[in-house]
Copies of this chain bind each other. A is one copy, B any other.
């Protein structure tokens, strides 16, 4: 059993309106000095596999086909063995 965390973020070249809104809202909270906001999604789950390599292959397949939109988003993930 492996614990998986997948991060999905917009590609750097894609305009992120949600991040722009949050940056404005933070300024209205009177908090200064916040910059370069990126908003992403995170998926936590467990996966059964025979080996860490097999787990990574499965997670890559799931991320590419379901969790991320490869046209606009990039993803990376961590896989940790648990008992």
Q: Kindly state whether residue A53 has any CB partner on chain B within 8 Å.
A: no
Interface range on chain A (Cβ under 8 Å from partner): 20 to 34
On chain B, the residues within 8 Å of A32 by CB distance are 48
In the complex, per-residue mask of A66-81: 1 if CB is within 8 Å of any chain B CB, else 0: 1100000000000000
Q: Are B42 and A40 in contact (CB under 8 A)?
A: yes
For residue A62, which residues in chain B have a CB less than 8 angstroms away from its CB? 26, 29, 31, 34
> Given known contacts A26-B62, A29-B61, A66-B25, is B41 in contact with A45 (CB within 8 Å)?
no
Closest-CB distance, A25 to chain B (whole angstroms): 6
Smallest beta-carbon distance A70→chain B, Å: 15
- CB pair B40–A45 under 8 Å, yes or no, is no
